[in-house]
């Protein structure tokens, strides 16, 4: 009963309501209800027997209504009905939740595999058909933010939710909750159909380590809801360790779990991006944080064709500085940093984005309150003094500036500014944050030695990168992204995924495994006016040891630096 009480609200979560209208299904609006994998991504197909969400307008009542008991009706619920047609076969889909802007439903296990269409009807008025792809297996993991990222809905056998203050230990059993393992036999509408699916080629990855799986099948909680039970492997720990489930070559979304060698609180370590603040959050659940980043980014891509250029690869290097002063809740901040705060080196995580969103390694989103730290932040170093100014339009708490470099001939282009040495960061103070001053040392840059030889990435084979130099006490960052643009005449209709891995500088090399790269879509290449542009990137760089500072009005202040080299490469 604990599982049922926990999951009914989660899987039937409602979106904002809308007024009654003729049903309209939004573009790309059919998603796995757990992963929210955007259409166009490798794991975006809807699995037989899984629960999925339909987003649009006019599809149900203004106030959401959800099913509370079995049997489920395949015909209609609260005036809303859903049908799916694949390969000439039409099936009725039982509705689990209905509201004007969102409908949740369970795709019958008997639905044929292939491409087809879905139609929503409300009060006898039908929508235009929308495209849907049905597959046998495409697992989505539930997460606590109910958006497919951040802390996973992963429980102990006693149904206690794993988290920073309820960490698992190596050898413990944990339960991943999700949907999309695949079809079952029996009457799904009558109630849950629990049972193991031992023939599934399923693997659980904790960090980048495989875990022993002891159960993979339907739960006894609810129709369409799955459980994967695994044993926490040795040698992995952290407050936000990435976890994913792979079936064949289809990889689920990435969630996180907390693992400790002993005790109930996950370990806090300076080797973690967020380690210096997670301990404080665990006790206060609320904090005001200031961060300053000095960043050098170099991007190498194909040269412009004649007469615009000589066709040779070109590299653009830009030095930037940024600062943010924010008031977070623990929930928002832990979700925002979940993809960066892995303590175990060798771990990777994946995030997704769509349309015209800029690829971001945040792995989540947070609602923050910005803090006024004064009109500007000053950076003083071996190459002079620079100012980070408030975001244009009066963006209190957000500061940014191009410090040097850039594209030759573009506005703001100038000599590179960041080099090895000592930099002092000062703030005059403002309404919310007092004055401060702190120093950070930028170390020797890391060199990506095989950058020129990696011209394409085979997602099924993984990719290995090598480096020399860098800060011996720093962290190596390996990152990349790939974008699928189904309609080159409308590039804003796109979906992409990116990855982020960490390694120790002393390792000298790192292999991004196939389980990570298979989460990315093949890269689209756009040809225009004789110039080809590939929507994919691979980068290697480093993050130096950060330093902290104190200021009135802040619970924590820290300064860090990154130096990333990237190349435009296709993912195949």
Sequence spans of domains, the chain = 2-135, 140-259, 277-568
- Which H, E and C letters describe 299-328, residue by residue? EEECCCCCCCCCCCCEEEEEEEEEEEEEEE
Domains 2-135 and 140-259 share a fold: yes
Give the Cα separation of 122 and 468 in Å (integer).
62
Structure tokens at 102: 């969102």
Tell me what pLDDT residue 364 has. Answer: 41
Structure tokens at 72: 């489920």
> Which pLDDT tens digits describe the chain residue by residue (572 residues)?
233 333 333 444 433 334 456 899 998 999 999 999 999 999 999 999 999 999 999 999 999 999 999 999 999 999 999 999 999 999 999 999 999 999 999 999 999 999 999 999 999 999 999 999 999 999 999 999 888 988 899 999 999 999 888 999 999 999 999 999 999 999 999 999 999 999 999 999 999 899 999 999 999 999 999 999 999 999 998 888 999 999 999 999 999 999 998 888 877 544 444 444 555 555 556 778 899 999 999 988 766 555 555 556 788 999 999 999 988 776 555 554 443 444 567 889 899 998 754 444 434 444 568 999 999 999 999 999 999 999 866 668 999 999 999 877 666 778 999 999 999 999 999 999 999 999 999 988 899 999 999 999 999 999 999 999 988 888 899 999 999 987 766 656 689 999 989 999 999 999 999 999 999 999 998 776 556 678 899 999 998 877 889 999 998 888 989 999 999 999 99
pLDDT at 15: 37
Please report where in the chains the tokens 């403002």 appear, as a residue: 430
Phi-psi domain of 29 (left: phi exceeds 0; alpha: psi -120 through 50; beta: other): alpha
d(CA 211, CA 219) in angstroms, rounded, equals 20
94 neighbors 189 (Cβ within 8 angstroms): yes
CB-based contacts of 393, cutoff 8 Å, min separation 6: none
Q: Which fold has domain 2-135?
A: Immunoglobulin-like (2.60.40)
Buried b (16+ CB within 10 A) or exposed e, 461-498: eebebbbeebbeebbbbbbbbbbbbeeeeeeebbbbbb
* pLDDT for the residue 368: 67
Instruction: Return the percent helix, strand and coil in the chain, to nearest 5.
Output: 5, 45, 45
Query: What kind of fold does domain 140-259 have according to CATH?
Result: Immunoglobulin-like (2.60.40)
Going by C-alpha positions, the residue among 291, 271, 382, 279 that lies closest to residue 330 is 279
């Amino acid at each position: 009963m604990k599982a049922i009480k926990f999951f009914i609200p989660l899987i039937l979560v409602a979106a904002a309501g809308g007024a009654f209208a003729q049903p309209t299904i939004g573009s790309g609006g059919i998603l796995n209800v757990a992963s929210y994998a955007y259409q166009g991504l490798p794991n975006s197909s809807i699995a037989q027997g899984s629960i999925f969400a339909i987003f649009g307008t006019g599809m149900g009542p203004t106030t959401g209504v959800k099913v509370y008991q079995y049997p489920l009706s395949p015909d209609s619920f609260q005036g809303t009905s859903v049908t799916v047609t694949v390969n000439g076969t039409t099936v009725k889909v039982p509705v689990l939740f209905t509201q004007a802007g969102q409908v949740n439903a369970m795709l019958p296990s008997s639905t044929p595999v292939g491409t087809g269409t879905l139609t929503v009807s409300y009060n006898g008025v039908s929508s235009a058909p929308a495209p849907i792809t049905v597959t046998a297996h495409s697992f989505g993991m539930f997460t606590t933010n109910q958006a497919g990222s951040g802390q996973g809905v992963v429980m102990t056998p006693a149904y206690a939710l794993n988290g920073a203050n309820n960490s698992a230990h190596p050898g413990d059993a944990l339960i991943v909750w999700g949907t999309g393992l695949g079809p079952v036999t029996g009457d799904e509408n009558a109630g849950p159909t629990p049972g193991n699916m031992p023939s599934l080629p399923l693997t659980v990855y904790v960090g980048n380590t495989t875990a022993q799986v002891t159960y993979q099948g339907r739960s006894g909680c609810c129709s369409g809801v799955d459980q994967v039970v695994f044993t926490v492997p040795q040698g992995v720990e952290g407050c936000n360790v990435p976890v994913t489930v792979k079936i064949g070559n289809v990889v689920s979304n990435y969630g996180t779990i907390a693992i400790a060698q002993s005790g109930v609180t996950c370990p806090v370590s300076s080797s973690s991006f967020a380690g210096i603040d997670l301990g404080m959050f665990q006790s206060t659940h609320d904090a005001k944080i200031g961060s300053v980043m000095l960043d050098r980014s170099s991007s190498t891509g194909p040269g412009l064709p004649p007469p615009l250029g000589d066709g040779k690869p070109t590299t653009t290097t830009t030095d930037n500085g940024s600062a943010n002063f924010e008031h977070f809740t623990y929930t928002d901040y832990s979700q925002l940093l979940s993809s960066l705060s892995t303590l175990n080196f060798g771990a990777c995580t994946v995030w997704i984005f769509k349309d015209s969103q800029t690829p971001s390694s945040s792995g989540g989103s947070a609602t923050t309150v910005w803090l006024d730290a004064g009109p500007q932040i000053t950076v003083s170093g071996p190459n002079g003094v620079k100012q980070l100014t408030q975001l244009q339009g009066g963006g209190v708490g957000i500061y940014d500036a191009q410090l040097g470099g850039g594209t030759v001939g573009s506005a703001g282009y100038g000599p590179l500014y960041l080099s090895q040495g000592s930099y002092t960061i000062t703030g005059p103070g403002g309404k919310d944050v007092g004055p401060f001053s702190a120093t950070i040392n930028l170390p020797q840059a890391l060199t990506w030695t095989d950058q020129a030889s990696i011209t394409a990435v085979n997602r099924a084979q993984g990719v290995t990168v090598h480096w020399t130099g860098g800060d011996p006490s720093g962290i190596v960052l390996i990152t990349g992204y790939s974008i699928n643009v189904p309609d080159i005449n409308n590039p804003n209709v796109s979906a992409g995924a990116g990855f982020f891995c960490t390694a120790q500088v002393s390792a000298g090399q790192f292999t991004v495994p196939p389980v990570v790269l298979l989460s990315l879509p093949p890269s689209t290449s756009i040809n225009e006016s004789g110039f080809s542009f590939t929507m994919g990137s691979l980068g290697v760089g480093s993050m130096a040891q950060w330093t902290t500072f104190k200021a009135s009005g802040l619970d924590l202040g820290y300064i860090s630096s990154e130096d990333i080299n990237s190349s435009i490469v296709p993912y195949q």
